[in-house]
């Protein structure tokens, strides 16, 4: 890495060094780091990989990209098409791509007609080469359990904090790898902007959504932020920087990590617009979207609600989002302020009469 540049900045530079994030550039792969003494022959080695898909060129709501965890084993000829990509997508909406959330082989994830990510945008992958399969087996088993709870609707997809990135990063943290957090985008703007959005959009629901976006930790919201932090943490673990608070998964990674590689997948040429590298922050995301809502390219996703009669009886009610309490607080402020204004108006009106 260049001197004086953090791991996150170096990885972002790789993702953006080619025009449009490498959407029209050749497939490429590099070794970024290798442990001293580790074999350079990776045939048969298990892997834990991190997939970040770029921004779509024809959907302004997809400027942040997509995130997925990948497990597999390097084939003798270097093939990676059968690696398993854990793809979380909304269950209760009809995706225009026809994507259903499931673990799928990498070649299907990228190349399936219409549903393959490579038809829409460039993609990037950081690959952790491991000396033992225990890390990949543990992560995949945790994700399998998560898919089970997701399909039975114990977990409900919610874009701000129950999404492809949060499901993946939460799993890693639960298993004992505390991927560094970046904190929320702007708690102050979340609280102060709630009444502004509610008034401008004439919608409490949109105000709550904006509130939750701004208050969610960025590594649970933005795929590129999670991608960068995971890489930086892997590099630190590989160099022996294990903190006392690190858990089981982190310690196994520190022991088993042999190398880190970076892979860039171009977008397939087609009639679709070419994509770009994903936005890293909420601020960058908003800068990419036209200020005039009428000019924004949005692909509508019709709802596909899960029938109540098919729900299991033992489902636990999900916790309320923080925006629920923000709505209560601002509602109380609005009611109290209105009552106070009416009281003062009455006093002033009574005195003048």
Summarised one tens digit per residue, pLDDT across range 85-129 is 999 999 998 888 889 899 999 999 999 998 999 999 999 999 999
pLDDT higher for 336 or 194?
A: 194
pTM attached to this predicted model? 0.93
Three-state DSSP class for residue 345: helix
Residue 352 has pLDDT above 60, yes or no: no
The pLDDT value recorded for residue 344 is 77
pLDDT of residue 143: 98
> Do 184 and 193 touch, CB atoms closer than 8 A?
no
Closest CA to 224 of 61, 56, 65, 23: 65
Q: Where are the alpha helices (DSSP H) in the chain?
A: 7-16, 106-111, 134-151, 164-174, 187-201, 204-215, 223-238, 248-256, 282-288, 322-352
| The pair of three-digit structure tokens given for residue 278, joined into one six-digit string | 């994903």
Q: What are the distances in angstroms from CA 209 to CA 134, 136, 234?
A: 39, 34, 32
Mean pLDDT, range 188-192, rounded to an integer: 94
Whether 321 and 161 have beta carbons less than 8 Å apart is answered as yes
Enumerate the β-bridge partners of residue 48: 71, 128
pLDDT in tens, 25-34: 999 999 999 9
- Integer CA distances (angstroms), 227 to 15, 80, 189, in order: 11, 20, 25
**Each residue's pLDDT tens digit, 238-288:** 999 988 888 999 999 999 999 999 999 999 999 999 999 999 999 999 999
Query: Nearest to residue 261, comparing CAs of 40, 4, 18, 19?
Result: 40
Would you say residue 298 has pLDDT above 90?
A: no
């Amino acid at each position: 890495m260049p001197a004086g540049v953090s791991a996150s900045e170096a990885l972002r530079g790789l993702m953006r060094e080619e025009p449009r994030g490498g959407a029209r550039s050749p497939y490429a792969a590099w070794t970024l780091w290798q442990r001293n003494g580790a074999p350079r022959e990776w045939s048969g080695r298990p892997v834990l990989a991190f997939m970040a898909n770029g921004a779509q060129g024809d959907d302004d709501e997809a400027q942040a990209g997509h995130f997925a965890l990948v497990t597999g084993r390097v084939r003798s000829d270097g093939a990676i098409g059968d690696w398993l990509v854990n793809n979380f997508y909304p269950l209760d909406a009809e995706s225009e791509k026809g994507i259903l959330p499931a673990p799928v082989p990498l070649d299907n994830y990228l190349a399936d007609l219409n549903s393959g990510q490579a038809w829409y945008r460039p993609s990037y992958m950081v690959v952790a080469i491991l000396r033992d399969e225990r890390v990949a087996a543990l992560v995949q088993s945790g994700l399998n359990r998560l898919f089970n709870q997701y399909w039975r609707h114990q977990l409900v997809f919610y874009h701000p904090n129950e999404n492809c990135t949060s499901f993946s990063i939460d799993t890693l943290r639960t298993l004992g790898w505390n991927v560094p957090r970046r904190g929320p985008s702007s708690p102050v703007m979340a609280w102060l902007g709630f009444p502004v959005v509610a008034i401008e959009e004439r919608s409490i629901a949109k105000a709550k959504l904006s509130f939750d976006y701004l208050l969610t930790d960025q590594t649970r919201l933005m795929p590129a932020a999670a991608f960068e932090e995971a890489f930086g943490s892997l590099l630190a673990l590989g160099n022996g920087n294990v903190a006392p608070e690190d858990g089981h998964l982190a310690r196994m990674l520190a022991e088993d990590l042999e190398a880190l590689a970076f892979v860039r997948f171009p977008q397939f040429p087609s009639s679709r617009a070419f994509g770009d590298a994903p936005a890293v922050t909420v601020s960058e995301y908003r800068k990419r979207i036209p200020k005039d809502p009428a000019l924004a390219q949005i692909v509508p996703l019709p709802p596909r609600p899960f029938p109540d009669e098919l729900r299991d009886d033992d489902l636990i009610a999900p916790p309320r989002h923080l925006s629920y309490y923000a709505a209560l607080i601002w509602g109380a402020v609005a009611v109290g302020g209105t009552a106070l204004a009416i009281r003062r108006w009455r006093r002033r009106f009574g005195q003048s009469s």
